[in-house]
Structure 1
C-alpha cells in the first residue's frame, strides 16, 4: 500500500462570497485574477467583466479583499488602493502561498 505525499507545487485559495466559501487549488506563479477566473470565480461584476484591461493592472476593476495571506504590493496602483483600504488588484497579486480572498 502506498500513500501519496501532499504536493507543495500548488497553493490553496479560499474564496469567500456572500453565499458560501470554496477552496481552489492553483499552481504557483499565476496571478490571483487568473486563478479565480480559471475556477469560475470572477473579481469583476457584470459590467466590469466586459470592460476591463484584461489583467494588465491599468483599470483597477479587479479589486478583491485578501483576508489572509496577502503578499506586499509590488505595483504603485495596487499599493495605493491597498493603502486606502480599498482592496487589492487581483491581476497584480502573484499566488506564491495559500490565501483567503473575499469577493
Structure 2
C-alpha cells in the first residue's frame, strides 16, 4: 500500500432515506453535508434547506444518524454522541466507510427521531 494513494483514496458511503438505500463512492476527507447535497440528498427540512448556516455548525439543522463510531470534533457532535441525537453532517468528515440515515425533520431545529 503506497502512501501517495491515501490522499485520493475513496470510501463507501451508504445513505438511508426512508426505505431507500443508496451507495456512493466518496473521496476520503470530504464533508458529509457537501457530499449529500451533491448527490441530491438534503440533510435539511423543507424550511431549513434555504435558511441554514451554510455548514458552519451553528444552526444544528443538518442532523443525520451515523451507524459507525466517528469521533466528534464539534461541540454539538460531542453532545449528540453523549445523548444519542443526530450528528451534524456539516461537521462530519468522511474518513471511513459510513452508513448514514437521513432523519425526518418537522420544524426548524426539531426532529422526529
Q: The TM-score by the shorter chain falls in which range?
A: 0.7 to 0.9
Name the Cα RMSD after superposition. 1.2
Segments of 5+ residues of structure 1 without an aligned counterpart are 1-7
Residue in 1 that maps onto 2:107: none
Residue in 2 that maps onto 1:81: 80
Residue in 1 that maps onto 2:54: 54
Q: May I ask how many residue pairs the two structures share in their alignment?
A: 95
Higher-strand-fraction structure: 2
Query: Closer, same or farther in 2 for the Cα pair 1:102/1:78, shift >3 Å?
Result: same
In 1, the alpha carbon distance for the partners of 2:92 and 2:69 equals: 8
Runs of at least 4 residues off by over 3 Å: none
- Relative to the length of structure 2, the TM-score reads 0.79
The CA deviation string for residues 17-67 of structure 1, in whole angstroms up to 9 with x for no partner, is 113100011111111111111111111111110111010111100000002
- Relative to the length of structure 1, the TM-score reads 0.86
Residue in 2 that maps onto 1:4: none
Matched residue SS, 1:100: strand
